[in-house]
Structure 1
Amino acid sequence: MAEDTVAGLLDWFEASGGSLDRSSVGFTVFPGCGRGAVALQNIPEGHVLFKIPRNILLSTETSTLPSLVGLDRWREAKMHLGWVGLILCMMWESAQGSNSRWSKYLESLPEMFDTPMFWGDHDLEELKGTSVVEKLGKVEAERDFEDKLLPMVQSRPDIFLPDTIPVYYTLEVYHLMGSRILSRSFDVETDESEDDEAGPSDAADTSLGSAMEVDHPQEDAPAEDSEQTDADNPEEEEREEEEEPSGVSMVPLADMLNARYGADNAKLFYEKDELRMVSTKPIAAGEQIWNTYGDLPNAELLRRYGHVDMLPLPDGDLGNPGDVVEIPADLAVVSVLQTDSVVTKERIDWWLEQGGDDVVVLETDLEIPLALVSLIRLLRLSGDEWENTKAKDKVPKPKIEADILDVVRAVLERRLAEYPSSLDDDRQLLRDETLSLNKKHALVVRIGEKKILRDTLREVQKQIEASKGSGGGNKKRKVVPDGGDTGRASKRR
């Protein structure tokens, strides 16, 4: 972003009602981070860095496009589902040029991304074994472009002028706008509660969420009976999950702050009429002002933002302390079937109905996920035990025994085998100074995940050996089939 672009953005921001403490906050380019915010003087904790009026947030609520189209027609065309509506609003605002109230802001947004969404097939192969490629959603996004966005654009030449379509409403621009939302949007609460923090939500849910989401107040959590109602109506639940949250917004200035694991020293808070970026600890002059993305693992940092964190780790390596490994429940099914004759479709369906996910997460603490243990125990129940469990309407307790540890080990070994190269091979490759940036980033992601798998496997093996040494033995048993066909877990949250 050129200096004159930054100056134009700041002038527009203040002319639109925003306020910036220019004596405390500046914007500059940081090596390896790109442009970010810098403290121009010592900043105390609790200092308001800038205030953003809600009416300059760019969203489907503030853009006039949905009203021009007609709100009934907007919903009929399913523009309220996913991000397609917000993407179209951003395309249309860009097409208005200087007539758009957000023209200066849109000019300040990135024109290129290093995220895997824009990688070629050769580079994407380097991410094999990780969950990144599966989560790109490129096919689904392009289907929305063809089935929802283009028909809307072509049906209203009075709004989307035909000569602007090849410039502002192309698939390339669609992906660009989508990447801007993924990397820079906030999920801003629309109620009028004061002093609620606008920060990131749990990073495990990474399929659709905006870059920086609101931490909802505890009292706003849905009651148990409402959750049960959703579970009783899966079609309604699926529809609600697909709908675009009305609060997903592009937030000028706030999105210029960078983030790094454990480095945040400022957060966004919302009030009735404005949002405030506030320092959460003292910041020395010359230091970068960091927001938070929720301490995401490198796989998510790469998918959303096109970079990875390389920080000192306790073992002396460099990496991301927040790295995780996702393990599909299917691997537990396959591993159980190696030793037990059990048909699992009914059990998997019941597991999902009970709120179990089809993916468990392995973290750097090297603890065996309790959900994985519970799932394995469910799959290995005898026919009578299975019937009793259904009657109690509770999943098995995550009790770890020797035979469960054997299955866990098999699951982790299968997960590790999904990568096309070994950990040692990857470490050797990473020493090559001629690597492309994409390949280097993919290696960093793979290495971080493989280390978690390797180290957890070592811990599991220790537990297995300790169990055998204490006379626990390795019990295997034949399980009576409960009927139905073998099935795959089919619900991803």
Structure 2
Amino acid sequence: MVPLADLFNHKTDGEHVHFTKSDDSDSDEEEDGDDQNSGEEGDVDQSNIDLVEEKDDDDQSNASADEPSTVENSTAKPSGEGYNDEDLEMIIVRDANPGDEVYNTYGTMGNAALLHRYGFTELDNPYDIVNIDLTLVTKWCSSKYSHRYAKARVSLWHKLGYSGCTSEDAEYFEISYDGEPQLELLILLYIIFLEPEVYDKLVCVAEDLVGDDDQHDEQDTIDSFAKVVEVTRPAKNGVEKLPDVKKLLQSESIGSALSSIADNRESLYGSSTLKDDEEKLRTCSPVGERNIYHSLVLRVSERKILGRLRKHACSWPKTKKRKHT
């Protein structure tokens, strides 16, 4: 199937065709077989009923012996000229005008994956992401506090059952195309900004807060963080209502931290600006300067995402600091 599907170029969210293995010949012939054998199965059922009514043990034994072969014949896979288990079906999912190129899709993936697997990139790919290494976050925290402070806060974050994405012994966080930071990164920043006495309190109960089940989705992570909030922001006399935990992760301090981390991440691109890279990309040939072109596509996309991250973080409302008791 792959060689035929690869005859068509990929276009993210703009494909005209899908390819799939065709099971029509199997299902049609099986239905024909069922129709041909339906009378036999009916005879067997009626024979069993008659035998039960007559309570003839010998005939019942014979009917039971015959029944499996009858059922087996009715479900046997047909063979013949019309059957081919490698049939391929091309399904049209979008209209194409005469003369237009017809596109396939290789899946919903960002430019980094497309370049790694297929050797090309797309401008403005909505599935692009930016990775921010945990070491970059730790470095920012160390510069604001100390290396020992950063190590202790990250250790508690891990102890509570949180982690980022992992690849080849590296841990990182994903920033979506829209600039939305990974939830685990926000929780880490929340723990970093805890007051010392609250941090110490959380350390004492950390093992009790870790559940037996892994965190499979965002809701699991939010539910887990709610337990942390109950410790770090205890209700007074049981009257205070537990706040929206996601709003706690959108504080002014966390937003400021995200902006600083985004600046540190973008500094890895050197002294050139986003505008410089966009101009280079505009004049770069995707054929004659293939490597440079794809590199610029990745850089421009990632820098735009970092810009959205800053804008996203700056949009969070300013909150008053609360004294922890």
Coarse TM-score class (shorter-chain normalised): 0.5 to 0.7
Alignment of 1:296 with 2:109, yes or no, is: yes
Alignment gaps of 5+ in structure 2? 27-84, 166-170, 211-223, 229-244
112, 119, 125: which is aligned to 1:320? 125
User: What is the total number of aligned residue pairs between the two structures?
Assistant: 213
1:449 to partner: Cα distance: 0.8
For the residues of structure 2 that align with 1:441 and 1:416, how far apart are their CA atoms? Answer: 18
1:276 to partner: Cα distance: 3.0
Name the counterpart of 2:4.
Answer: 253
Name the counterpart of 1:360.
Answer: 173
Alignment of 1:408 with 2:263, yes or no, is: no
Alignment gaps of 5+ in structure 1? 1-51, 53-250, 311-318, 478-493
| Contact 1:402–1:475 (CA under 8 A) maintained in structure 2 | no
The alignment partner of 1:320 has SS state of coil
Alignment of 1:446 with 2:299, yes or no, is: yes
The alignment partner of 1:367 has SS state of coil
For the residues of structure 1 that align with 2:207 and 2:303, how far apart are their CA atoms? Answer: 36
306, 319, 323: which is aligned to 2:119? 306
The alignment partner of 2:12 has SS state of coil
1:458 to partner: Cα distance: 2.9
More helix by share: 2
Alignment of 1:383 with 2:188, yes or no, is: no
In structure 2, the CA distance between the partners of 1:349 and 1:281, relative to structure 1 (3 Å rule), is same
Root-mean-square deviation (Å): 3.1
Alignment of 1:424 with 2:275, yes or no, is: yes
1:61-110 CA-partner distances (Å, limit 9, x unpaired): xxxxxxxxxxxxxxxxxxxxxxxxxxxxxxxxxxxxxxxxxxxxxxxxxx
> Which amino acid in 2 is paired with 1:373?
L
| Contact 1:336–1:380 (CA under 8 A) maintained in structure 2 | no
For the residues of structure 1 that align with 2:16 and 2:312, how far apart are their CA atoms? Answer: 35
Name the counterpart of 1:122.
Answer: none
1:284 to partner: Cα distance: 4.0
Name the counterpart of 2:135.
Answer: 330
More strand by share: 1
1:390 to partner: Cα distance: 3.4
TM-score under structure 1 length normalisation: 0.38
For the residues of structure 2 that align with 1:308 and 1:476, how far apart are their CA atoms? Answer: 50
> Which amino acid in 2 is paired with 1:338?
S
1:313-334 CA-partner distances (Å, limit 9, x unpaired): xxxxxx3333221122222222
| Contact 1:335–1:411 (CA under 8 A) maintained in structure 2 | yes
For the residues of structure 2 that align with 1:379 and 1:461, how far apart are their CA atoms? Answer: 19
For the residues of structure 1 that align with 2:109 and 2:162, how far apart are their CA atoms? Answer: 27
- Bigger Cα Rg: 2
Name the counterpart of 1:235.
Answer: none
1:368-394 CA-partner distances (Å, limit 9, x unpaired): 332321232244441212333431213
In structure 2, the CA distance between the partners of 1:403 and 1:260, relative to structure 1 (3 Å rule), is same
In structure 2, the CA distance between the partners of 1:268 and 1:345, relative to structure 1 (3 Å rule), is same
For the residues of structure 2 that align with 1:350 and 1:293, how far apart are their CA atoms? Answer: 39
TM-score under structure 2 length normalisation: 0.56
Task: Tell me the percent identity.
Answer: 25
In structure 2, the CA distance between the partners of 1:289 and 1:334, relative to structure 1 (3 Å rule), is same
